[in-house]
Amino acid sequence: MSGSKVYLDYNSTTPLAPEVFSTITEALQRCWANPSSSHEEGVLARQCIEKARGHVAAMIGAKDSDIIFTSGCTESNNAVLRSCVRHHQHLSKEEGTTMLPHIVTSNLEHGSVLRTAQELADNGEIELTVIKANPRCGHVLVDDVIGAIKQNTVLVSIMHANNETGVIQPVKEISLQMARLIKEQKYTDLFLHTDTAQTCGKIPVNVSELGVDFISIAGHKFYGPRIGALYIRDLESKTVPFYPMIIGVGQERGYRSGTEDTGYIAGMGKAAELVCNNLDTYHKQLKEIRDYLEQQLTEHFGDDVHFNARFDGVERIPNTSNVSLIGKNLEGWNVLKNLKHSMASTGSACHSKTAKASQTLLCSGVPEDIARNAMRLSLGRNTTKEDVHIFIADLRETVKALKLVN
């Protein structure tokens, strides 16, 4: 990755897989024309995009027609929230009511969900309920989410797995209970969204099994380029509301304007194809090395290592370990800054420049003094046991030096 350094920050971004890099290069050379053009070169570019759409759809068990490409998960998440709000506003206008739309989300969400929802609430456009994660399990409780739903609820948005702790949220169980509620109470405009940025490429993601209406996907989290995709259930039949957030001349069937980046879309399609063909292998390798890493941390640091948000019986994505070392001067940012041969982060890369304790960890029941010392160690497909040994040796030397500092 970078000289001899061990990279343990794959939850923030992954490198392009070699096959993805080759696919992007080929697409830029062969499919450079505008995919909206009707001539031969334009048709070739369009075919390249549709092939990629098929691979992304296959990765999550969806129909090709239910996938649109975006700039990333941030855009996808924004588009979902704002579409549901706009849908409710249209219904309210037709019915002559003034009730605001209501959104339910959690305090574990990425800022592109939580901050967007908060801004809508601050502007008086929605009612907002933020469900707190249960500190005994590190995820939201299904009953808390269902209990927050009311007649004007238009959207429930719960991420599939948290990027800092790796804890998998009970999205499938929430979906089942929402389906029951919709049937019993005859809700017709209540939808479920999940952000799968941290799960695609690591664990199975299937739209039918999850029972969701919207899925946000980030290419650069599974060895693809930095673009995204959005799944919308039965998009063509308009069963689920979706309104374009970016307006232009109607690319992506009118749902997301702007000339498509054929090269990056092709690359994302190849990354999705690799997931389809190799997910079991990826999962097994990641879990084996993650478990070995945690074993080595325990052996070398004993009671001085604290595994944050690791709960008995609670599932995590297979590549993520959030740990704190107990002791003076061992704040996560300080330890990471002084590592000579390793790279990791304290948590979300979006907030890596702060020395404050992670709100996600605090919400997950981690005491503040321990949360301040947290490091998120996220492994990749090529992380080896030798990498773990290098990191452990580096960490031991760093801790030894920091403990000598008064």
Query: What pLDDT score does 94 carry?
Result: 80
Contacts of 121 (CB under 8 A, 6+ apart): 127, 128
Q: Is the model more confident about 4 or about 83?
A: 83
Tokens for 320?
Answer: 């993520």
Query: What pLDDT score does 348 carry?
Result: 58
Residue 378 has pLDDT above 70, yes or no: yes
Closest CA to 304 of 361, 388, 373: 373
Catalytic residue, chosen from 48, 84, 350, 363, is 350
Active-site residue, 350 included = yes
73-103 pLDDT tens trace: 999 999 999 999 999 998 888 888 888 999 9
Q: Please compute, for residue 323, the number of CA atoms within 13 A of its CA located in the half-sphere on the CB side.
A: 25
d(CA 210, CA 202): 16
Query: What pLDDT score does 84 carry?
Result: 96
Which residue shows structure tokens 């990755």? Answer: 1
Taking residues 291-320, report their average pLDDT. Answer: 97
DSSP conformational letter for 240:
S
d(CA 6, CA 17): 17
Q: What is the maximal distance between C-alpha atoms in the chain?
A: 71
Please tell me the least confidently modeled range out of 34-43, 95-104, 254-263, 378-387.
95-104
Which residue shows structure tokens 């070398």? Answer: 300
d(CA 336, CA 356): 14
Quick one: three-class SS letters along 331-348? CHHHHHHHCCCEECECCC
Query: What pLDDT score does 41 carry?
Result: 95
d(CA 149, CA 225): 37
Query: What pLDDT score does 355 carry?
Result: 66
Mean pLDDT, rounded, of the chain? 94
d(CA 59, CA 271): 10
Closest CA to 379 of 299, 330, 329, 323: 323
Name residue 2's beta-bridge partners. Answer: 5
Query: What pLDDT score does 96 carry?
Result: 80
CATH 3.40.50.740, applies to 18-274? no
189-246 pLDDT tens trace: 999 999 999 999 999 999 999 999 999 999 999 999 999 999 999 999 999 999 999 9
Question: Would you place residue 26 in the very low, low, confident or very high pLDDT band (cuts 50, 70, 90)?
Answer: very high
Q: Is 341 exposed, middle or buried (0-12, 13-18, 19+ CB in 10 A)?
A: middle
The pTM is what? 0.94
The domain defined by 6-16+279-403 folds into Aspartate Aminotransferase, domain 1 (3.90.1150)
Long-range contacts of 272-277 (CB under 8 A, 24+ apart): 272/52, 272/55, 272/56, 272/58, 272/59, 272/200, 272/222, 272/224, 273/55, 273/58, 273/59, 274/17, 274/19, 274/20, 274/222, 274/223, 275/59, 275/200, 275/201, 275/222, 276/55, 276/58, 276/59
164-191 pLDDT tens trace: 999 999 999 999 999 999 988 878 899 9
- Domain boundaries for CATH 3.90.1150.10 within the chain: 6-16+279-403
Query: What pLDDT score does 354 carry?
Result: 54
- Domain boundaries for CATH 3.40.640.10 within the chain: 18-274
Residue 2 has pLDDT above 50, yes or no: no
Q: What does DSSP say about strands 228-232 and 214-218: parallel, antiparallel, or unpaired?
A: antiparallel
113-163 pLDDT tens trace: 999 999 999 999 999 999 999 999 999 999 999 999 999 999 999 999 999
Residue 328 has pLDDT above 80, yes or no: yes
d(CA 14, CA 219): 9
Query: What pLDDT score does 48 carry?
Result: 98
What is the b/e burial string over 191-213, where b = at least 16 CB atoms within 10 angstroms of the residue's CB?
Answer: bbbbbbbbbbbbbebebeebbbb
239-293 pLDDT tens trace: 999 999 999 999 999 999 999 999 999 999 999 999 999 999 999 999 999 999 9
Query: What pLDDT score does 1 carry?
Result: 42
What is the b/e burial string over 52-81, where b = at least 16 CB atoms within 10 angstroms of the residue's CB?
Answer: bbbbbbbbbebbeebbbbbebbbbbbbbbb
Query: What pLDDT score does 190 carry?
Result: 96
Q: Please compute, for residue 203, the number of CA atoms within 13 A of its CA located in the half-sphere on the CB side.
A: 19
